[in-house]
Amino acid sequence: MLEDSKIRAFLTIVQLGSFTAAARKLGLTQPAVSAQIASLEQALGVTLFERGRELSLTPPGEHFLGYALRIQEAYNLANQAFSD
């Protein structure tokens, strides 16, 4: 299945509002999910999440969300096109 784990981790965190909950849903450890997001943030050169009392997207994170959704949709379409 064609998929980028960093995009999936990002979208799952946004959906669930928690790194821990996202890790549980993805079947990963919380440090593994944190490492994926840190790698994504490094690649993009921005901070995606405000990590405080409550987790929220930064303005660049909000901007990236639209791209991440379109990327995930493209992955889904490609998987549908080439699945049995």
Q: Is 10 left (phi over 0), alpha (psi -120 to 50) or beta?
A: alpha
Per-residue confidence (pLDDT) for residue 2, from 0 to 100 = 46
In terms of DSSP H, where are the helices of 1-84?
5-16, 19-26, 30-44, 59-81
* Model pTM above 0.85: yes
Segment 70-83, tens digit of pLDDT = 999 999 899 899 98
Per-residue confidence (pLDDT) for residue 83, from 0 to 100 = 85
- All structural domains of the chain, each given as residue ranges with its CATH number in brackets, are 5-81 (1.10.10.10)
Query: Hey, is 18 helix, strand or coil?
Result: coil
